[in-house]
Amino acid sequence: MNWSQKTILVTGGTGSFGRKFVEVMLRDYRPKKLIVFSRDELKQHEMRLIFPDNASTPLRYFIGDVRDQARLERAFRGVDLVVHAAALKQVPACEYNPIEAIKTNIVGATNIIEAAIDQNVQHVLALSTDKAVNPANLYGATKLCAEKLFVQGNAYSTKAGPRFSCVRYGNVVGSRGSVVPLFAEQRKTGRITITDPRMTRFWLTLDQGVRFVINCIERMHGGEVFVPKIPSMNIMDLAHALAPECTVDNIGIRPGEKLHEVLLSEDEARSTVELEDMFVVQPLHPWWDDAQLPEGKKLPEGFRYGSDNNDVWLKVDDLRALLAKA
């Protein structure tokens, strides 16, 4: 893909992912234009101080909400590629404000699809989460719906129209709302809280997440869900890495929380191929395209990619090395 000829828009562009995506794009790929679409003018102002939008840069800032399809229509004019990162993702907030979560995560996904088709965007890649697999909370359920919308949204497009795909990955080291900054704050008190010492999670850095998204954009045909191969870590190892001197309080699993996360379920595995660095969940009904999807190794019957049965595990020193790069 010739990135220097592309106009790219990232929704939720002032969030953790969006800021890193902008940083990497400006430094390494230099697109023709890069548009940050978000609803928070203060965050845009703060981001503009680091990444200015003057005549010498391709960067532009666009205030808008994914709930507003008319605003998306205007923002998407002349755009070649959309990375959809906007979401309500705090689990307790989504449980307490369920209609708001649905408006942003599901209706917003629908608006992205409609606007992309109407404005003839070439590619749309949406960010999803391990919580969309066998969801145990409303946030996961909304992201599952969004995944289905983006995969089958290709059926609404013409042969020459937009292609929609998703990436699905686990917890991001150091992102807002993750346990890493929480432990860092609790460390000041000498005590940290965990919900269950058996708990495991998938982990990757923001830079790894951004690089994976860019890789998937270059490989997508439409309808795939791309799942990276990433390491797991036990919550106690995480606690020892971040706050080795602190007392650990076990407070019990919270409502809607899982003991282990899953990036690929047994049922999905039947339509998934394994590549060297990722799994690719192929669409079950690809009416929109007869093109060959990525060739890869079929997965064995009953395969499940969970944070508890992973082949690759982070140890304390590994996490500290990741944090140093984050």
Residue 290 has pLDDT above 70, yes or no: no
pLDDT in the model for residue 40: 95
- Gap between the Cα atoms of 232 and 202, Å rounded: 4
pLDDT in the model for residue 210: 97
pLDDT in the model for residue 239: 87
Q: Which of 131, 143, 229, 258 is catalytic?
A: 131
Which is more confident, 86 or 296?
Answer: 86
Q: Give the full edge-to-edge strand order of the sheet including 33-38.
A: 59-63, 33-38, 7-11, 81-84, 123-129, 163-169, 225-228, 278-281, 272-274, 297-298
On average, the pLDDT of the chain sits at 92
pLDDT in the model for residue 200: 94
Q: Spell out the domain ranges in the chain.
A: 3-170+205-227+265-302
- Mean pLDDT on 266-278: 95
| 92 contact partners, CB below 8 Å, separation of at least 6 | 254
pLDDT in the model for residue 292: 55
Percent of the chain with pLDDT over 90: 73
Concerning whether 43 is annotated as a catalytic residue, the answer is no
Residue 294 has pLDDT above 80, yes or no: no
pLDDT in the model for residue 225: 97
- In tens, the pLDDT along 57-106 reads 999 999 999 999 999 999 999 999 999 999 999 999 999 999 999 999 99
Domain 3-170+205-227+265-302 -> CATH class: alpha beta
Q: For 134, left (φ over 0), alpha (ψ -120 to 50), or beta? A: left
Strand 123-129 vs strand 163-169: parallel, antiparallel, or unpaired?
parallel
pLDDT in the model for residue 264: 97
Residue 319 has pLDDT above 90, yes or no: no
- In tens, the pLDDT along 92-147 reads 999 999 999 999 999 999 999 999 999 999 999 999 999 999 999 999 999 999 99
- In tens, the pLDDT along 19-31 reads 999 999 999 999 9
- In tens, the pLDDT along 187-238 reads 888 999 988 999 999 999 999 999 999 999 999 999 999 999 999 999 988 8
Q: What are phi and psi of 195, to 5 degrees?
A: -95, -30
Residue 291 has pLDDT above 80, yes or no: no
